[in-house]
Chain A
Amino acid sequence: MATSDNTHVPASNVVRVTIPASVAYNFDSITKVTQTVLGKLGCLGCHSGRDIRFIIEDNFAVDEKLNVFPNINNVGNELAR
């Protein structure tokens, strides 16, 4: 059954999800990557450059046959190196 902890509700700016305990999942990989699941909900910060959040999402490309491959020439990949 879902793990629930309503007594600690107000804490910080992190959202948590509870799900049935029987679910198999890879906790580490999900936690790591979904830290930015929601992105910014507020106003954009002040800058006049390229917003790399879109570019980083293009680090993987999906072709017409729906094959997924790393987009090695993407700026986001260059930044990450």
Chain B
Amino acid sequence: MTTTVKPPNPEQREAVMDRLRHGREAVAQRWRDAPRWVRWAVLAAVIVFFYALPNKEFYQYLGPIPTPGANFTQVMFTVSIYVLMAVGLNIVVGFAGLLDLGYFGFFAVGAYTVAVLTSPSSNIKTLWPWLLVVPVAIALTMVSGVMLGTPTLRLRGDYLALVTLGFAEMIRIAAVSSDFLKGQRGFNQIPHPPGKYTDGKPIFGVLDARPYYWLVLTLIIVVVIGVRNLTHSRVGRAWISIREDEDAAQLMGVPTFKFKLWAFASGAAIAGLAGALFAGKQNFVNSQNFELLNSIIILAAVIFGGSGNIVGAIVGGGLVAYMIERFRGIELFGLELYEYRFLFFGLVLVGMMIFRPQGLIPNRRRAAEFKDRRKEVIVGE
């Protein structure tokens, strides 16, 4: 007997999707209904888990989680940087609804500010300590965000996407070709963050990546608390209203330009911080660190996790950065999987866009916005 494979009919698919949706909603509901202390306990457990994660005594029991092809602690540092950036980009894309395609450009501004002001290979030889440069780096990225945003955020539409894309490319080209930014040769001997153990050894050394990871993790927590408070305030309401309907927001008296600029600049500042942390750990910064692809990955991570939702951004940023590293050192049918990492990444994204366009852990409002859009499409047909 021959059977032709029938594509699942829409109703069946809808039924499966419904069941999935209900499962997730049940989990979400249980989480909301759980007593306060349970939620705090779970949160505390998660935080403790992530602080413990880079210790070999701990992660060796975690089965397939540690990366076979790379030092797991190093990988965790990279992942943490991505998470920090995803949280920052989520303000821009998720809350204010601004499409920033060149977010990594701000990371580069942060990293290069540190490099230029601290490294002995820099032309200006200021040789400042790392800690002193961090606020400068953050301020400079914010200024570049304001400079980029002021002319473009007044305009509607896709100008911002184009301008940010151009900005990131400009930074990259400057890094590759200008003598001041040293191109491939790069900057070396960038100082580490300060701090010594009681026995006089520096906390932030060359070999052990754990202190850097812990530092970034701590900063992530601080930033997340800050962002959360912001989103529950008038500022957050203004951002959401702009994202949902910019004209209507203005008609309600929201100074839309000001708030868009704020979202854009605070997102930039967080990327600048991430860049400064990166430079402080790496000891060496050159033009290879800033490929355009990184901007796209970060953006994809935020959308993947569920833009507009802080937890979604964290999970998205973490998972995407981790998965890319996880492929390293795995061979399948003689193919090095790492070489094909972006292919998988692309496939996953396409799948997401089809089945779950609102992201893994969507924002409640965002989900409603999607429903609304779908209605509009049906009406227009």
Q: Do A and B come from one complex?
A: no
Q: Which residues from chain A sit less than 8 Å from chain B, CB to CB? A: none
**B contact residues vs A (CB 8 Å cutoff):** none
